[in-house]
Structure 1
Amino acid sequence: MKAKVKANIRPELSPGRFKFLVWLLSFIFIVLVAKAASIQVISPDKLRHESDIRSVRTNELEVQRGLITDRYNDMLAVSVPMLALVADPQLIAQNDGFADVNRWQALAEVIGVPYAKIKHRIESNPKLRWLYLKRQLTPGVANYIRQLKLPGLLLSEESRRYYPAGETIAQLIGITNIDDQGIEGIERAYDQWLTGTSDKVDIRRNNTGEVVEILSEIKSGKPSKDLNLSIDLRIQSLAYQELKNATANLNATSASLVVLDVKTGEILAMANTPSFNPNVTSQRQPFRVRNRAISDTFEPGSTVKPFVIAAALEAGVLKPEEVIATSPGYMRLGGSYVRDGRDLGDLTVQQVLLKSSNVGTSKIAQRMPAQEILGTYYALGLGSFSGLQLNGEQDGLINERYRWSDFEKATLSFGYGFTVTTLQMARMYSVLANEGKMMPVTILKRAKVDGEVQLPEATQVLSKEVADKVLKMLVGITKPGGTALKAHIEGYPVAGKTGTSEKAVAGGYGNDYVASFVGVAPAHDPKLVIAVMINEPKGDDYHGGDAAAPVFAKVMAGALQMLNVEPVIEQQLQFVNLQERVR
């Protein structure tokens, strides 16, 4: 009976224990609420600051560099999106990042950097938060790296410059460095225009370095701008190929060529050899990168003779119909001799040019003071920069003297004793082709308003009458008796002049030559000027008429056809000349 009573007794809740438990739980709850309130309401700034230190970064959003295009918007330089592999050494150390050796070795293999070198660089800079491991990775390689999921690595957007035309126009366009800054050519001259500025934003990254939130914009950037050049890529490609072939065939050291629009002053082509592929870093040697058309100077030789004739006509000391006696083929000036290749006899002024008589030109030069000749050269742009603002351009060298001997004056008349660039020679001949007016040259395409090209004001440096007379004198250069039979172009009359100058060495002149030809076509209605310079051609074909004239003919013929300039037949040209004589 007593056992049954004990079994039916139910346990009772102790009031003291119950109260203690309730108070304990309440206290814990109050403490938690108070702590949460303290963290989130009363003093959250400290923890937010600590969080921001670890996750918030200021990031510059990538701005693509502006495009460079030719006059018809064909691409000459374009930026291609790439990625940079960046390490956070501090984060890697905190996460024991090198524990998975196999993944790091896979990374080293794909980026082409030894694992030991990667590890040494990271461990040697434990406090850095940003360390480049590899620049300019392709999207495919970047995607592989993402799949490795290595802590403390991130991929940063950047770009790489790509040049679709390659070696064809490499020196003119120039190159950028790994940070996409222009360091040569157009890329350098117009770097600020092409670059723009990037937007700066605050971002939050997670523990693997990925962007999880864009917080705010700090500074709004300025977009980059495109650049539309005056270059015609079709003519440029033709010019470079012909120049390259000639350099190889003549075993020449180098060469340059400029194609200039007579009416607008726009440069349609500027080619150089040797060239390089700007997309291949290993080919960027200084002798290849140099834009020789504006940086290499040379004594022009006989190509300046037309301007001595022009100066004499302007000064009134020479008449176009005069006959100049050049026998016996040489003349003594002081203690030196001026010589022709042979005795050319009595020559008209036109024949002095077409047969390139040094004696004839020297006799004409003796009628003027040296300053008269130099003044004409200066007015035509020698000794001054072109205004293109391209790095490396030379202005040429003209020695100034108080006294000029008769022989020194003679050498000025047939292109010795001063230096020029290929671009300067093209600019000089454009004056003859443009009725004596010098149009400022440009590498940028001239703007159009209502379909009309907006031209700057030209400078009248020669009278129209003199410029036209000298240009007509040069038309026979490609006919029998002229020095440039190989510059003849079927259907397009050519006016031009050859030049063959010996290269100066210590103590005088050596056995190397510069061959040149500058010409205008069509001569009756000038459209283009082309200047060609071949440096140190080897073999027997080192004269301007043999080395440079054929290049001129091929490039000029192709360029005129590309520009849809209609050829003329001989009967039409004779009719045009007859009309001019009647007027």
Structure 2
Amino acid sequence: MKPRPRTTPSPTRRRTSAPSARRRMLLVVGVLSLASLGLVARAFDLQVVRKEFYQNQGDARFLREVPIAVSRGTIFDRNGEPLAVSTPVVSIWANPSEVLNSEDKLPALAKAIGMDADALKQYLMQRSEREFVYLKRQMSPDAAQVVLDLGVPGVNGQREFRRFYPSGPVTSHVLGFTNIDDHGQEGLELAFDDWLAGKPGAKRVIRDRMGHVVEDVELVRAPQPGRDITLSIDRRIQFLAYNELKNTIEQSDADSGSMVILDVHTGEVLAMVNWPTYNPNALRGSNPSSRRNRAMTDVVEPGSTIKPFVMAAALSSGKYTPTGPLIDTGNGHFYYISHDIRDTHAYGMLSPTGILAKSSNIGAAKVAMTLDTGLMYDTYRAFGFGNSTNSGFPGEASGYLKPGKSWGMLEKAILAYGYGLNVTPLQLANGYATIADSGVMHLPTFVKGSDNEAKQIVDPKIANELVQMMESVTQPGGTAAPWAWIANYGVAGKTGTAHKASAGGYSKNNYSAAFAGIVPASNPRMAAVVVIDNPKKGSYYGALVSGPVFAKVMDGALRLMDVPPDNIGRWYVGGPLQGQNGLTSNKQPTVEQVDDAPIEGATP
């Protein structure tokens, strides 16, 4: 077999391989060109066509609108002393998923915010789908910085404000308190919430993946801080009233008590205190019943403190003057429609002034029975009984007064010594303030200098006569002497001791002890009411329990308000014992009348 001869490539084969290389080159160039066009198209789509969509998606991850906290307005007393202020605090918040990624730091974080580490982990895991949860609200800035210095990923701080009350329990019932979001919940914090709260602002910021703000983008809404308010409350008088009321309730083992002091010429509330009370700076330890402003929300049957208003109707009728005609109160018992209306002593013949001085139930009842029912009812209504005072305080009670057209004769007699109706301590104080200001009634107000409504409801001459008549109550021989005396000042007032209502009638052993008064008697500036509920130690009489509270508090209030004395050397303990208005006093002051209960058989 012959070997094949070696051949060389023909020129034709070399020419056919060259176009194949060019095609590959063209293919590569084409592919690269198409890829470039695709990238350009994609870039165009991202930057132009769907720019807004992707920008929003990016913003959703890094752009946030955050609130700008504002300070709540400060509440001042009438002398410019702060009663409620807002202090800056920091609330710690977190992104749960980010914090859980650093599980090794959870024990330190839990300790810093005062939680158990396992409880914190469970709390975060239950909320892992969220991007924002609070870990600890309203920490002090120093304590919050300790948490932030741990550097736990996803943990951040938010500036807020917390309310602080410098006077604590002394002013708690008037001021109320705010919740954790700084909104008023009770008292004047609630009544003036729109005024005090202000409006938080808002801004857009860019946060990094750790949640830290890296740039402020724009101001969305400017913050509007809350506005300040100046109250009519005098913190010094408030403290005096609080201290005396507290001491008396503790010493007498009473259930509760209230005191209200008004400026008679303006209706401004100078002090309003209750016991028991609470500390608004530590709400968790308070009992809900202790947070009730009893001077506004609780009602009592006023007992003998209502008698000056019966006398207002009597003087208005034209049938009576302060000195006559005389009323025969007999031997201390007056039987009417099978009901025994009683006095503690046989007072015999008494003038209208004497009826107040001796607190005669029989005298008040007999006077009322001679009056037109419509006149007596209208007089009670005019002085505000059965109606809210419209002070604007949240939850204020209206009290109760039965319509006059339904009064029977016995019912009218009982209403004359303070049963069958109920009032709040503020209503009663406002009634006495109206008498003190020559018969002009002012709407009670908690705001200093407010232009509140005033109207004449009784003739000035009658109102001034009533003040003089009530002054006999605190003079020797009257039921409040010497317990309501104030050195160098004349006091006009009225005592009241009433059986408390209970299931099926009236309790034999539970009493409400009250004193309502006006000072100074010759030129009234302030009116006050003290109500002690169910004193169980010592005396239960209004004169002996509430009278001294009135005297001690008003003694200090008169001096704090720079009210000049009007009774220097006129009387004092151990001094002259001859009363005014024809009343002859004995050397040993008589104990006031305990008001007979209105239901036969319910009294002791």
With structure 1 as the length reference, what TM-score do the two structures score? 0.88
Q: CA deviation at 1:393?
A: 1.1
Alignment match, 2:83: 76
| Cα distance change of structure 1 residues 480 and 46 upon mapping to structure 2, 3 Å threshold | closer
Alignment match, 2:118: 116
CA contact (8 A) 1:484 1:497 kept: yes
What is the letter of the counterpart of residue 68 of structure 1? I
Alignment match, 1:497: 494
Alignment match, 1:534: 532
Q: CA deviation at 1:369?
A: 2.8
Q: CA deviation at 1:210?
A: 1.4
C-alpha distance after superposition, 1:308-332 (max 9, x if no partner): 1110110112232212111121111
Alignment match, 1:519: 517
C-alpha distance after superposition, 1:269-301 (max 9, x if no partner): 000000111111223321110000011101000
Alignment match, 1:473: 469
Q: CA deviation at 1:218?
A: 2.3
C-alpha distance after superposition, 1:490-548 (max 9, x if no partner): 11100000000100112211120000001111100101101100000113411110000
Alignment match, 1:388: 391
C-alpha distance after superposition, 1:216-272 (max 9, x if no partner): 222334331112110000000111000000110111000000010011110000000
Alignment match, 1:437: 440
Deviates more, 1:342-351 or 1:259-268: 342-351
CA contact (8 A) 2:532 2:545 kept: yes
Pick the aligned partner of 2:57 from 46, 50, 56.
Answer: 50
Alignment match, 2:94: 87
Pick the aligned partner of 1:371 from 371, 374, 377.
Answer: 374
Distance in 1 (CA, whole Å) between partners of 2:432 and 2:491 is 12
What is the letter of the counterpart of residue 76 of structure 2? T
Q: How does 1:4-403 map to 2 (within 5 A)?
A: 42=48, 45=52, 47-92=54-99, 96-98=101-103, 101=104, 103-322=105-324, 323-400=326-403, 402-403=405-406
Deviates more, 1:550-559 or 1:457-466: 457-466
CA contact (8 A) 2:251 2:537 kept: no
Distance in 2 (CA, whole Å) between partners of 1:487 and 1:426 is 16
Alignment match, 2:541: 543
Distance in 2 (CA, whole Å) between partners of 1:436 and 1:246 is 32
Distance in 1 (CA, whole Å) between partners of 2:501 and 2:120 is 54
CA contact (8 A) 2:91 2:134 kept: yes
RMSD: 2.4
**Percent identity, aligned pairs only?**
39
Q: CA deviation at 1:36?
A: 11
C-alpha distance after superposition, 1:559-578 (max 9, x if no partner): 000011122354789xxxxx
Alignment match, 1:425: 428
Q: Secondary structure at the match of 1:548?
A: helix
| Cα distance change of structure 1 residues 196 and 395 upon mapping to structure 2, 3 Å threshold | same
Distance in 2 (CA, whole Å) between partners of 1:401 and 1:299 is 17
Q: Secondary structure at the match of 2:401?
A: coil
CA contact (8 A) 2:332 2:343 kept: yes
Q: CA deviation at 1:440?
A: 1.5
What is the letter of the counterpart of residue 435 of structure 1? S
| Cα distance change of structure 1 residues 480 and 572 upon mapping to structure 2, 3 Å threshold | closer
Distance in 1 (CA, whole Å) between partners of 2:568 and 2:144 is 65
Q: CA deviation at 1:34?
A: 6.1
Distance in 1 (CA, whole Å) between partners of 2:260 and 2:37 is 85
Q: How does 1:450-465 map to 2 (within 5 A)?
A: 455-465=451-461
Between Structure 1 and Structure 2, how many residues are aligned?
Answer: 540
Q: Secondary structure at the match of 2:422?
A: coil
What is the letter of the counterpart of residue 502 of structure 2? V
Higher-Rg structure is 2
Distance in 2 (CA, whole Å) between partners of 1:338 and 1:140 is 69
What is the letter of the counterpart of residue 374 of structure 1? Y
C-alpha distance after superposition, 1:370-401 (max 9, x if no partner): 33212111000111111122222111111236
CA contact (8 A) 1:58 1:202 kept: yes
Distance in 2 (CA, whole Å) between partners of 1:457 and 1:404 is 31
Q: CA deviation at 1:429?
A: 0.5
Matching of residue 484 in structure 1 with residue 461 in structure 2: no
Distance in 2 (CA, whole Å) between partners of 1:488 and 1:141 is 54
C-alpha distance after superposition, 1:86-112 (max 9, x if no partner): 11124446xx232xx1x2211101211
C-alpha distance after superposition, 1:442-465 (max 9, x if no partner): 000115xxxxxxx44521111011
**Structure 1 gaps, min length 5:** 1-19, 448-454, 574-580
Alignment match, 1:416: 419
CA contact (8 A) 1:97 1:152 kept: no
What is the letter of the counterpart of residue 111 of structure 1? I
Pick the aligned partner of 2:566 from 545, 551, 568.
Answer: 568
CA contact (8 A) 2:258 2:274 kept: yes
Distance in 2 (CA, whole Å) between partners of 1:315 and 1:255 is 36
Q: CA deviation at 1:60?
A: 1.1
Distance in 2 (CA, whole Å) between partners of 1:470 and 1:537 is 30
Deviates more, 1:332-341 or 1:234-243: 332-341
With structure 2 as the length reference, what TM-score do the two structures score? 0.85
What is the letter of the counterpart of residue 468 of structure 1? N
